[in-house]
Structure 1
């Protein structure tokens, strides 16, 4: 391995560092005139502002100049509070401009204009602001590999449709950006225009798709100087009222609290929630989980999704740990039963500070405290109840230091710390990361070293390291990767990891087109090989070859095909649920195909088919997924998706019987229906409907005992009923009104039920009837959030 590291470093030393292509420069013009955001361009300042023009196609025909019939011109003004953006987008067929009304941050079937701003001009992170032709706002924090649309800034925009195209006017306050304290500002900037009906995107500064990096290919904004930015202090008080009812009782709840955002300076921001309320966040998709690992859940709470790009560094932070399930199962005596076991732990408060210095040092600190939580246990003889701690008062802390340099490289340090009050488990984990790119973004070297320490009944520590080398530009690209994880590497107190104690190698090569052909707009084919070997036994955990083809046709239909072969016998060290045990996993072949029709048409559909055939008699997995969406008009649309999975002769753990580990051969089916509807009254007022029904069962027909060599031996004497039948229903019907910038009134009706038994019912209608005939919970809630800018208060009082 040392020779490998040395070779990689020598490659980087002798790589030719070519210079960037010429970047366009735009001058921002200072103004003291009151700029009204109405799209009418009546102010005198706009008439003499410099113009950004000569847009170039980004995709599909990269590098092609925009036609005169779609001429696009952009101007920028600024004062002490904000920058102002004006875009005039010509279109020789204005009646064909796409303009679907959607929720905020949903692009939909619309033409778009966006501005990307990098206040440090360091090629690392963009603040992106987009507006559709229907006037809907989208904004995100963007790094090279991802866009975070959970981030919502407060800014103004207005769109006017004209007989020559459309006009966009924006006001982006400095509070929505991050930049240095320099008297003369130099920002990275780019503008993008999307013409939806032609599947075309154009940018002001040319972005060469043969180069893997986009942010480093922005133009330059100059002219902003001697600005005196106002105090960045924002108060967001809220109040919520809930009424909940089920078959047994009802409950009324009122909550009030406040979020605070404070700009420590132009670069750093403090976010705090004083009294959390996540009652209207999207429901989790409950499933029948028979896997040895917990279900990985999406984060839907705004505080943990907004502006969290720093905290995602290195994959050390899984925010659902905070306020997740309790960590302790209460101990009960023979005559006791648990009558109340909370499924989650309440959050007391949380605060985060994040930003970046003028020299590129990003700093992020997040701290959260969850309350002490009890289960209630009742004595069935005396009827006396007692309480037992299932989650102590806990403090969670994340620290991130991320130093950027050379426009496109970084070195990072991450630390996570979990401290539980009393004699409970504590944990600490750290990571050192490096991400190095050549100046022309041709090659990338990425690696990490991570370590963990757990203070429990028995202390233990572990580590993980990895290195990756890739060619990241051109039609042909490749990647080589190696990693090692020790036995006791454990970040699961504040992060999430499933598999440890192995080492592996991975290699990938790919080919793509960068301009359309006579058949495809886009095309990419890749193949990869992966081998993972368990450290203690030397047995293979994973060994696969995979071929993937992805393409978009000239009519904007999307195609994807995958072929995978697992040619070696493998061993699963987690399915037995017993440390040191493992079970044989046979060879298999996987096939997958997807077709996704042109989404710009009123009727859109998609279908996915996959199958896996194992090297065991009649052991197979079949899956079909289908979806349709119909857009009745720019305001109203409905969609329906279904998923069906069937597993024949699946084998998995079901029980411990004294010293034996019991497996079952079983048939499983999963059926899921997902229905959504949207009606937008305006670009700030929308009704939304989401309904999901999920049914799954596991029907065991033969039992086995796991042997020490990983193979299964029939166990005809085992007769426990370990079948499972699981039904889940969720419905959310909501009304949302953004009545002022950053201020929202939302009304939600929620209806849900869950059934989980060991009596398999294979009739779908009976399952549906049993679920709705059981204990159904109904919740009605109203929530009001109001955004207050400290400067507006100061101006009034």
Structure 2
């Protein structure tokens, strides 16, 4: 009997290991070389001949685990020097004329075949530096973490060459150690994976299998061994820049401005890096998509400034950082009879600095610091004509400090602190947080959460906290999760973060089903169910609830379909829309029911189309929201393409706050709101380093108030026949960017930008589309900016070893008498 029991236990252990264990990891052994490797895509150096080959790729999507076809096999070799890692990939294809090779800007994948290498110097299964190159030679790079996915705002300096051959295409890459992070061990063991995409079939492959049954990619990488005794060069890079701006509009004369500054990157050691900007210039960043905001909360904008987007995954722990706070122009209180003569849109950034990296034991350390200058405005008394100088923003220091300990290849615990210190008798703020992300060894279950605590030193000192905890099943076809959070009344992280609501608690849950391999109808299919309920802490009233069911799928022709329904089955009590200092005030909103559908055709076709209609019904007479998006795109060639996007939205009998009357009554309005958004993107790529791009956006949104209402103490609204102030709203914006970009050397760029824009807000307006677009083009309203910027990448080692420097530093010959 014990003998059979032993057999039974062995079988159970074997089945369990298959079900819950990690995929077996492949290992590639690399060799060092002192030979000079020229990145030309030819692999004709002797060092490549004896290098070990990584092959036998497996499909990630759509047919997870399926081996690559022999006629489309992939073969990759890796060698290294004291300076860099070198990769040579032969990507076979029996139909080389069908290889996708569309040209585009850096970090855009579009319709091209791709090859990539994914490197983890600590082999801890948590962070990868990913480097991709398309068959057209376009580079893409990113930092990957499980928490933040792929962050393509990070840009490294590396070299690559591609070539189409009779048997497919080839890639040769040089990745300097300066672009990576790893410990100072004599013998290195790195996490490694290779990626290949055959775009015409929408097939993605990897060397070590990425099992879709497991919700963790980096933990499924293979192993790179053989790197030993490397003596890495000094990591010191200087990027000086010079810019010229020519500004013109009707209210001021045309004037020119010359700017200059410096970016610095220094490797403190192989793991830690210092990034600094001195006299930064953000004049050529993408424009913001400003909208007519009638809500109780500010509009949130994406961060477009490179310094604040590159390599910031460590600083995003706990969601305490909203970098647009740094340099934003705050509001200032003035008298009813006063006006500000010139209000700056931003506060000038004096400098910025980041230090980040990770120790061998997995401890990540990050420090981000920025300083903005003291800014004053001239305030004019409209009655007397007298002026006074008022401080808009004092000299301010913004600081973020993070400790992030990784362990067991898939878990982490972090300590985060953000601090804002303003010079003088102004508000200061400090927020600290404990953040955790814990996963079982087999990545089957996850427990994550945080505890955040804020201290505000202002006229009144306040302390508050915010916390959440969540449990998820993260493996298999069937997955689920549930959690909740609690926010106290005085929690406030808005000095360096963003948080709209306080004094509430919530509960939520989700469940999903997905296929892991294609069926007769679908390449991918996923069904999701979500539920959310939110309650006010003080009264216990429900202030939000939502349930939705949705499907996302991809058919065998790689067209995407999605649809779903959502409903709010209970009335809600909104404590924010009344905009009152009395936090017990609320307005009651009715139940809702709605749905959506989207279709996105395969982008491999020259012509493709996105279509997305939606509608929401309210349990209130004649009150509905509906709209749609339609976006055709056409690819004329591998060089030229365009995308047009039209969005329409209408809200019938929408209800929202508009004012307080002379008796301090809260006034709402029943209004109709219509929004049109037209955008156009045209891209022409001369080659993989030179691009012309046109970006156009016209946004028009207006709201007409049909009836005015008074908010009652019980949250209901009654007609107000006395209030007659015009609170209609009309916002009309126009933005056009025409840019030219040339990467004339690795890390070095010339960019030319012509921008014109207008911003018009009014209470009295015409609701004719032709009239509003004409106003946007009116020369009285247009601003014009022409700018040229040159950035040049300087590697300290190249300068140090140059003949010019050596001629001054070599020992002088002695003259003997």
TM-score when normalising by structure 2? 0.95
**2:301 aligned to which of 266, 272, 297:** 297
Q: Does 1:173 align with 2:149?
A: no
Counterpart position of 1:596? 600
Residues 330, 390 of structure 1: 8 Å contact kept: no
2: CA distance between counterparts of 1:709 and 1:387?
45
Q: Does 1:285 align with 2:286?
A: no
Q: Does 1:735 align with 2:737?
A: no
Please give the secondary structure, in 1, of the residue aligned with 2:188.
coil
**2:768 aligned to which of 760, 763, 768:** 763
Q: How does 1:465-476 map to 2 (within 5 A)?
A: 465-476=467-478
| Displacement of 1:381 | 4.7
Q: Does 1:584 align with 2:588?
A: yes
Q: Does 1:155 align with 2:158?
A: yes
**2:528 aligned to which of 516, 519, 526:** 526
**1:682 aligned to which of 678, 682, 687:** 687
| Displacement of 1:459 | 1.2
RMSD: 1.1
Please give the secondary structure, in 1, of the residue aligned with 2:49.
helix
Please give the secondary structure, in 1, of the residue aligned with 2:315.
helix
Counterpart position of 2:140? 138
2: CA distance between counterparts of 1:505 and 1:77?
52
Residues 20, 444 of structure 2: 8 Å contact kept: no
Residues 603, 631 of structure 1: 8 Å contact kept: yes
Q: How does 1:164-313 map to 2 (within 5 A)?
A: 164-249=167-252, 250-313=254-317
Counterpart position of 1:512? 514
Counterpart position of 2:812? none
| Displacement of 1:18 | 4.7
Residues 122, 360 of structure 2: 8 Å contact kept: yes
Higher deviation after alignment, 275-284 or 15-24:
15-24
Counterpart position of 1:370? 372
| Displacement of 1:384 | 3.5
Please give the secondary structure, in 2, of the residue aligned with 1:488.
coil
Residues 646, 668 of structure 1: 8 Å contact kept: yes
Residues 518, 524 of structure 2: 8 Å contact kept: yes
Residue by residue over 1:258-314, the C-alpha shift from the partner in whole angstroms, topping out at 9 and shown as x without a partner, is 000000000000000011100000000111111110000000000000000001111
Residues 23, 211 of structure 2: 8 Å contact kept: no
| Displacement of 1:382 | 4.6
| Displacement of 1:769 | 1.5
Residue by residue over 1:354-402, the C-alpha shift from the partner in whole angstroms, topping out at 9 and shown as x without a partner, is 0100100001100001111122112335533322111111110000110
TM-score when normalising by structure 1? 0.97
Residue by residue over 1:150-179, the C-alpha shift from the partner in whole angstroms, topping out at 9 and shown as x without a partner, is 100000000011000001000000000000
2: CA distance between counterparts of 1:772 and 1:631?
29
2: CA distance between counterparts of 1:569 and 1:60?
43
| Displacement of 1:248 | 2.4
Q: Does 1:697 align with 2:707?
A: no
2: CA distance between counterparts of 1:296 and 1:568?
28
1: CA distance between counterparts of 2:335 and 2:127?
53
Counterpart position of 2:616? 612
Counterpart position of 2:799? 793
**Structure 1, unpaired ranges of 5+:** 1-14
Please give the secondary structure, in 2, of the residue aligned with 1:224.
strand
2: CA distance between counterparts of 1:199 and 1:343?
44
Counterpart position of 2:790? 784
| Displacement of 1:19 | 3.8
Counterpart position of 1:436? 438
| Displacement of 1:615 | 0.6
Please give the secondary structure, in 1, of the residue aligned with 2:756.
strand
Higher deviation after alignment, 241-250 or 515-524:
241-250
1: CA distance between counterparts of 2:690 and 2:316?
32
2: CA distance between counterparts of 1:771 and 1:203?
50
**2:664 aligned to which of 630, 644, 659:** 659
Counterpart position of 1:321? 325
Residues 242, 781 of structure 1: 8 Å contact kept: yes
Q: Does 1:751 align with 2:766?
A: no
Residue by residue over 1:43-82, the C-alpha shift from the partner in whole angstroms, topping out at 9 and shown as x without a partner, is 0000000010111111100011111000110000001000
2: CA distance between counterparts of 1:122 and 1:784?
39
Q: How does 1:394-543 map to 2 (within 5 A)?
A: 394-543=396-545
| Displacement of 1:570 | 0.3
Residues 513, 524 of structure 1: 8 Å contact kept: yes
| Displacement of 1:237 | 0.1
Residues 261, 272 of structure 1: 8 Å contact kept: yes
Please give the secondary structure, in 2, of the residue aligned with 1:186.
strand
1: CA distance between counterparts of 2:130 and 2:727?
52
| Displacement of 1:333 | 5.7
Residues 351, 368 of structure 1: 8 Å contact kept: yes
1: CA distance between counterparts of 2:524 and 2:633?
24
1: CA distance between counterparts of 2:528 and 2:379?
56
**1:81 aligned to which of 83, 87, 96:** 83
1: CA distance between counterparts of 2:204 and 2:757?
42
| Displacement of 1:499 | 1.4
Residues 332, 377 of structure 1: 8 Å contact kept: no
2: CA distance between counterparts of 1:431 and 1:380?
47
1: CA distance between counterparts of 2:224 and 2:678?
49
**2:676 aligned to which of 668, 671, 679:** 671
Counterpart position of 1:348? 350
1: CA distance between counterparts of 2:327 and 2:531?
38
Counterpart position of 1:119? 121
| Displacement of 1:791 | 0.4
Residues 395, 423 of structure 2: 8 Å contact kept: yes
Q: Does 1:645 align with 2:640?
A: no
Aligned residues: 781
Residues 699, 760 of structure 1: 8 Å contact kept: no
Counterpart position of 2:569? 567
Residues 436, 448 of structure 2: 8 Å contact kept: yes
Residue by residue over 1:64-116, the C-alpha shift from the partner in whole angstroms, topping out at 9 and shown as x without a partner, is 11110001100000010000000000000000000000000000100000000
Residues 341, 374 of structure 1: 8 Å contact kept: no
Q: Given the superposition, is the C-alpha separation of residues 440 and 704 from structure 1 closer, same or farther in structure 2, using an over 3 Å criterion?
A: same
